[in-house]
Structure 1
Amino acid sequence: MKTRLLAALLGLALPALAQTQQLVILGVAQDAGYPQIGATQEFVAAELGQRARQKVVALGVVDETAGQKFLFEATPDLPAQLFALNEALSTPGTLPTGIFLTHGHIGHYTGLMYLGREASGASAVPVYAMPRMASFLTANAPWSQLVALQNIALRPLAAGQEIALNPVLKVRPFLVPHRDEFTETVGFEITGRHKKALFIPDIDKWSKWPTNLPEIIKKADYVLIDATFYRNGEIPRDMAEVPHPFVEETLKLLQALPAAERAKVYFIHFNHTNPLLNPDSPERRELQRLGFHVATEGLELPL
């Protein structure tokens, strides 16, 4: 990817791109990123190069044949994530073909601010949103200014209804239970030419969702799921206030799956306290021993 972008910047010719689609992981951290605000030791470790900084969770989807690139989530790290996404198509500086939003928590939509007049001054970037999410953006400043000035063009989504981005790239949102203070919350099914991915960065306990997680894993090729916290007691507050499935719970739920099914699962959306962020942690080694994956920034998965 970096070779193609550098060639484009220098005006050099490269062989034609293969006719492929790919999913690119652009960030893996919970909404507040890593290091997280107030975590002095994490900042020191990052400054010393002892731990890697982690961008907020986001995906990119690229269709090289169609010349399209989509962002899933608009995070506070959007400028750097868009740069990384542009590398995939050798299109320096250009805005995404469209942006899909899961819900109205800070790490998932506030990057839209970079499309406004203070930054890129974008023109009608399509933003795909569920009804409550679209109403939230329309009715509340400063997001309403993006709508009024047509920096963004809201595109409606409906739960369970698939939309075609081109003849061989489709997206279907589906509702998941979460803390829906301002908007509903969805996951996305992303279907490419050959593969299907599920993206569920935020959800409450799996037991609150009427869908059977092991069963939907069998119907997909990649399943990127909420791994905010590894275990109970990880943060010094009542964790019922922020109900996510603990990774320990998810591992128990999926332990009976065959190895080929476990290999489809990529844990993502890590709080700064989650030991899976540490490549050397026993928890990460155990998870990988069991055949699961820890999502990492820059990973490319063919669609």
Structure 2
Amino acid sequence: MEFRARILGAAAGGGLPQWNCGCENCNLARAGKIPSQTQSSVAFTGNGKDWAVLNASPDIRQQFADCPDLHPTGLRTLPLHSVLVTNGDIDHVAGLLTLREMQPFSIFATKGIHDVLEENPVFSALNASVVRRETVSLDTPVEIAPGLMAELFAVPGKVPLYLEGDEVETDMMGEQTVGVHLRAEDKDAFYIPGCARMNDDLRERLAGAALVMFDGTLWADDEMVRAGLGQKTGKRMGHMSMSGPDGSIAAFDGLKVGNRIFVHMNNTNPVLRPDSEERAKAEAAGWTIGRDGMEITP
């Protein structure tokens, strides 16, 4: 067995640089002074040959081009076995439309997420006779690629922005926001790109994990407000911040987790600057800042 992971995209929605943003990070990335990052996605294999992609980023075409493990091995033969979707956010489902060229693979998701896709007729471009839609129940292991098992579990979160109503529950538990526990033989890893808070169930699941890729959207809860880029806090968007007493660094303190990697980082997050004080603090706390192309062996 060869259990491996590759970060296809380390940024949150919009990527780095974001097309309409003139913040410090975006300007540095445009100038080539810090690395650009595509939007949130990772790939896992349990045997070194067949791959499952977790979340279909709008940047998936470029991500596949940049990843030799996902290149075609024949005229219409790919190592891609499936795509698993952890929520209905645009940065996690829009890339499905790029995969519409009659290529066989399976889409794994909860019924709640599949319902979101089915209610939007544009996703019928994925021919149902070729692309199978597999409904996954929470807390039930399923094989998403040969030798690779995945178990979906609820984490605190919210519905996608385009489904919000007048009142928004930002840390609801259910099928709309899930984490993934991946296993191949005696090795395992967790992928949680969106999480509103650490609760007792999640803490218990993650204790002793060898690898956790976790929501790193913002460094500070009011980061975007202070930057003059919006009025929403991280909590309002359904994301924990990295710093602060309620942040993920504090939440993981004391948890025996081997390799902990931040993914899904917003373009404003100062940890995206390699020489920033915030990045140094995260790394001193035992965290790795994910980047496009990073390969991990759990």
The structure with the largest alpha-carbon Rg is 1
Structure in which a larger fraction of residues adopt helix: 1
* Aligned partners of 1:190 and 1:198 also within 8 Å: yes
1:283 alignment partner, SS class: helix
Structure-2 residue corresponding to 1:77: 59
The alpha-carbon distance between structure 1 residues 91 and 276, as it changes in their structure 2 partners (threshold 3 A), is farther
- The residue type paired with residue 292 of structure 1 is W
**Aligned residue number for residue 12 of structure 1:** none
Query: For 1:164, what is the secondary structure of its paired residue?
Result: strand
Pick from 39, 44, 49 the counterpart of residue 21 of structure 2: 39
**Retained in 2: the 8 A contact 1:262–1:291?**
no
Please give the per-residue CA displacement for 1:260-299, whole angstroms capped at 9, x wherever unaligned: x354211111011111111111111121122222222222
Letter in 2 for 1:100: L
Q: Alignment partner for residue 136 of structure 1, among 99, 116, 140?
A: 116
Q: Partners of 1:267 and 1:210 in 2: how far apart?
A: 20
Q: How does 1:158-173 map to 2 (within 5 A)?
A: 158-165=137-144, 168-173=147-152
Correspondence for 2:92 among 108, 117, 140: 108
Q: For residue 251 of structure 1, what is the aligned residue in structure 2?
A: 249
Q: CA deviation at 1:87?
A: 2.8
Return 5+ residue gaps in structure 1 as ranges.
1-18
Q: Which of 173, 188, 196 is 1:196 aligned to?
A: 188
Higher relative contact order (CA 8 A, sep 6+): 2
Give me the whole-angstrom Cα distance separating, in 2, the residues matched to 1:158 and 1:110: 23
Deviates more, 1:77-86 or 1:96-105: 77-86
**Backbone CA RMSD of aligned residues:** 2.3
TM-score (structure 1 length as normaliser)? 0.82
How far does residue 174 in structure 1 lie from its aligned partner after superposition? 0.7
1:52-77 deviation line (CA, Å, top 9, x unaligned): 21011111112445x31110110001
Instruction: Look up the match of 1:278.
Output: 273
Tell whether the 8 Å contact from 1:26 to 1:81 is kept in structure 2 after alignment: yes
Residue segments in structure 2 that go unaligned for 5+ positions in a row: 164-174, 226-230
Alignment of 1:9-20 (within 5 A): 19-20=1-2
The answer for the alignment partner of 1:269 in structure 2 is 264
Which residue matches 1:13? Answer: none
Distance change in 2, residues 1:151/1:80 (3 Å): farther
Deviations 1:206-245 (A, max 9, x none): 2xx45142x3333321011111111122012131431311
- TM-score normalised to structure 2 length: 0.83
The one of 107, 110, 126 aligned to 2:106? 126
Structure 1 contact 204–243 (Cα < 8 Å) conserved? yes
Runs (4 or more) in structure 1 with deviation over 6 Å come to none
For 1:174, the aligned partner's letter is F
Q: Shift of the alpha carbon at 1:146?
A: 1.9
Structure 2 letter corresponding to 1:54:
Q
Separation in 1 of the partners of 2:180 and 2:50? 18
Match of 2:45 among 53, 56, 62: 62
